[in-house]
Structure 1
Amino acid sequence: MQQLSTQPVASQQAKLDLKASSPWLDAWRSLRKNKLAMTGICIIIIFILIGLLAPVLATHDYRVPVLADRLLPPSSQHWLGTDDLGRDNLTRIMYGARVSLTVGFFSVILSLIVGSTLGVIAGYYGKWIDGIISRFFDILFAFPSILLAIAIVAALGPSLQNALFAIAIVNIPTFGRLVRSKVLSLKQEEFIVAAKAQGMKDRRILFIHLIPNSLAPIIVQGTMGIASAIIEAAALGFLGLGVQPPEAEWGKMISDSRQYFVNAPWTVVFPGLSIMITVLGFNLFGDGLRDVLDPKMKN
């Protein structure tokens, strides 16, 4: 009797376990076991909070020069010192985080949407459509990404919006080729063939089957792409093609202070460390996602 009474309980528990399990939930559980990936997540969250809370945390005005305080070393009043115009470095790094993360996130989102759309169309329809889109990708890949971004910003004019737009353009073929190759392999699968045999429309096949099954590599590439976008934004800022004064941006801060590196190294070191740590966080997180979401990387 006792054995019979425990069977419904065991069956109910098994059903609960099945409900609590899904591919994305399993991926999150695996990701939590990856210490490096979780370290990357913590770094990303910290810098996002720093950027969002910059107006609250900042103790100085990041725009107004104070020439009497120029090139002061780190102290209790200015934790990371001041720049050549007497502005607090910590405050400017906080506001610089907003710019770098904004460019990183939105440029990747834009390039992901455009590149993935073109990749899906090229991979699914093939023939001359694939030929035209693939040649477009080849043209963009023919130029070094940073040189193409410099050319675009130089043509449009230096500004944050144009820098974001340029970085998005140079990353379009990366997402496009990735999605195209994934769609080419997926459309040969039996469930796609069965969907076509049942008369399912192309739009439903794309949005119900192909795109959802291509999300894993897109997410991984998007995470790694944010790190690359932050570096490219810093490079454009260093060349004076990104954010314009008096706005704060890490690459621009390094460019403005490079001549003071010997006498005031804190003006260059701290913005450089901010770039390095942020990029490291996204790379660690991206590596963890790749290990979890890529079946080839699983043991």
Structure 2
Amino acid sequence: MLSSSLRTVTLVTAFLVGSISSPAFAEDTTFTAKNLNEQSVLAATWMQASGEFKALSYQAFNLAKMQFDAFSDSHTGNKKIAIVVDADEAVIDNGAYQAWLIDKDFGYSSSTWAKWMDAGEATAMPGATEFLNYVAKSGGEVFYVTNRKVVGLEGTRKNLIELGFPNVDDDHLMLRTSTSDKEPRRQAVQANYDIALFIGDNLNDFSSDFHTKSLEDTLAAVEKNKALFGTQFIMLPNPAYGDWEGKVYDNNWGASPAEKSQMRKDRLRIWEPAE
């Protein structure tokens, strides 16, 4: 049996050796939110600088116009026609807020997001203003079903009006109240309108089918609904953030920056060259 003093030396030695040889321990103490934010630089740059991002946005709204016209031409119901759109990264662009987080040692927070909403400085997604006004001029109505909380109502209203969007009033601007689930708000619109299109950057903008807990379930839901993309569901590109990110973390948003970084990497398919 080891003496008390020898046991102490052995434990201390083991601790020191483990600390030196364990990369996970070192990473956990040095990898910060600032490091994690740095990983978003390429996505933010692509969204703000590339012609491809702009082209994809125009493509989405060109397709939306074609599908809206086709729906209107064949519409025989007594209800008015409406479209349901998300706000953030669907018809307005918050890239400046995302870029502001880069080089900061903290991530998204409700307090900084509230300031951004109040500032009302989001820009219009390319093609969005023209398309939504086309819908309104064609006799349709636009409903903004967004998970911005009601604390941001006035800033959001001001922002949308200044960008020239139609139907920006209390009846059509449907912010989050008690739940982030958009299905009750979609159903409220559907009770009085025939919905031609849903437009968003997040699968939860379209249907409760996508209200899933895992990436695997989400992929299955996409497969189930694949015929609706480009017909009833119009998707905008957003590699910066979304519900998908939480599923990468197994819905553990409280994980450390180092853990989140590793979970991102763990989801990658990696090629290894032959030796």
User: Greater strand percent: which structure?
Assistant: 2
Q: Same fold (TM over 0.5)?
A: no
Q: Give the alignment's TM-score, normalised by structure 1.
A: 0.27
User: Greater helix percent: which structure?
Assistant: 1
Q: Give the alignment's TM-score, normalised by structure 2.
A: 0.29
